Amino acid sequence: MNINTNYQNISDSYLFSTIAKKVNEFSKANPDKEIIKLGIGDVTLPLCKIVVKALKDASEEMGVKETFRGYGPEQGYDFLREKVQAYYKNHNVNLDIDEIFISDGAKSDLGNILDLFSTENTVLVPDPVYPVYVDTNTMAGRKIVYIDANAQNEFLPLPDESIKADIIYICSPNNPTGAVYNKEQLKKWVDYAIKNNAVILFDSAYECFITDKELPHSIYEIEGAKNCAIEFCSLSKMAGFTGTRCGYTIVPKDIENGLLNKMWLRRQTTKFNGVPYIIQRGAEAVFTLDGQKEIQENLNYYKENAKIISDTLKKHNIWHIGGKHSPYIWLKCPNNMTSWEFFDYLLENVQIVGTPGSGFGKNGEGYFRLTSFGSRENTIKACERLDKFLK
């Protein structure tokens, strides 16, 4: 037996595992202090009522012989794929149903999609970046090159012709920074990918937070994108499915004359048994008119949380972006503190947990991420603590 030695090139623990360890150690040493977590991007509001009803109804179906279902189609049931198809149509994007693949979340597919590509490919990621992009490629042994995202380019880097890559990761609205590409900026990336015969892996997990009609929800709103981009989305943030697990991946048939679409179908039918029927019925309810209405109420709740955090930071002249079209607020650590110094500072002094920017890459050093996914009560309480302490 020989092990995959590429695992020796990644850190021993995932960023959020390290955070959890630090928080647990502090809690044990200070059991009387209440900790407010504004770090990991997990939702706090429950599933919408219409989704819960759909889950219950589907569960009842599984207990009746005539409506029981066993193995389903690995690419997803048509009733859900058609709903996703219609959702994209609302953004003026036309998709064939067999370009839509239902998954258990964007995180899984962003790693699994790499089965389709040679380990000889060079991967381009922005820095700072969601750690999964880097870790999954490091595990496979691919060469990774970085493009700088920083305050100078508003954390929205554009293509550099001197950099050649085969696989390009783009996340918009971005995790961790909350920055959003406009159509003109995405067109430059599409043109770059086509020129270099590269594929864009586009993470749109936070598109539901976009409110500006001029900003794209999907990369397929950009001319030429179907020739070079695979899109990943999730119901985790849109509908609170972080613990329920459902998302979708779009693999256009225009890429490589349909080869990648066929390969992904083959991969899924071999390595994936599909998302449970019950979960897909719940996801179907997400895309109904009533579902979208209920979900928007939840999204507005998180957006208000983001505004509360942003207003507090503005009051103390702390530079930050995000929050408007994203659940994340990306701020500059005060007093030239490093990311982990600020993490410890907040934990020890006001018992607030955020995410150190350095955990997302070298350009994240000196920055910090807060999330609006907490409860309203905890968000207000955290901001009151910050307001008093920062005076």
CATH code, domain carrying 338: 3.90.1150.10
pLDDT of residue 345: 95
C-beta separation of 181 from 156 below 8 A: yes
Q: Are 97 and 183 within one domain?
A: yes
Q: Are 196 and 57 within one domain?
A: yes
Binned average pLDDT, 10 residues per bin, the chain of 391 residues: 95 80 95 93 94 98 98 98 98 98 96 98 97 95 98 97 97 97 98 98 98 96 98 97 97 98 98 98 98 97 97 96 96 96 96 96 97 96 93 71
Q: Are 330 and 341 within one domain?
A: yes
pLDDT of residue 13: 66
Q: Which helix (H) or strand (E) holds 349?
A: helix 339-350
Q: Are 295 and 270 within one domain?
A: no
CATH code, domain carrying 129: 3.40.640.10
Q: Are 136 and 214 within one domain?
A: yes
199 Ramachandran zone, left/alpha/beta (phi>0; psi -120 to 50): beta
Q: Are 78 and 27 within one domain?
A: no
Sign of the C-alpha dihedral computed for residues 262, 264, 266 and 269 taken in this order: negative
User: At 391, which amino acid appears?
Assistant: K
Give the CA distances from residue 55 to residues 50, 58, 248, 277, 279, in Å, rounded to whole numbers and listed in that order: 9, 5, 18, 9, 7
Q: Are 38 and 67 within one domain?
A: no
Q: Are 92 and 200 within one domain?
A: yes
**Total count of domains within the chain:** 2
The DSSP code sequence of 208-259 is GG---TTS-SSGGGSTTGGGTEEEEEEHHHHH-TTTT--EEEE--TTGGGGH
Choose the final residue of a domain: 288, 315, 331: 288
d(CA 34, CA 32): 7
Q: Are 300 and 284 within one domain?
A: no
Q: Are 100 and 238 within one domain?
A: yes
Q: Are 335 and 376 within one domain?
A: yes
Residue 149's domain spans which residues?
49-288
- Give me the chain's average pLDDT, please: 96
Choose the final residue of a domain: 288, 307, 322: 288
Q: Are 168 and 308 within one domain?
A: no
C-beta separation of 109 from 232 below 8 A: yes
Choose the final residue of a domain: 272, 288, 304: 288
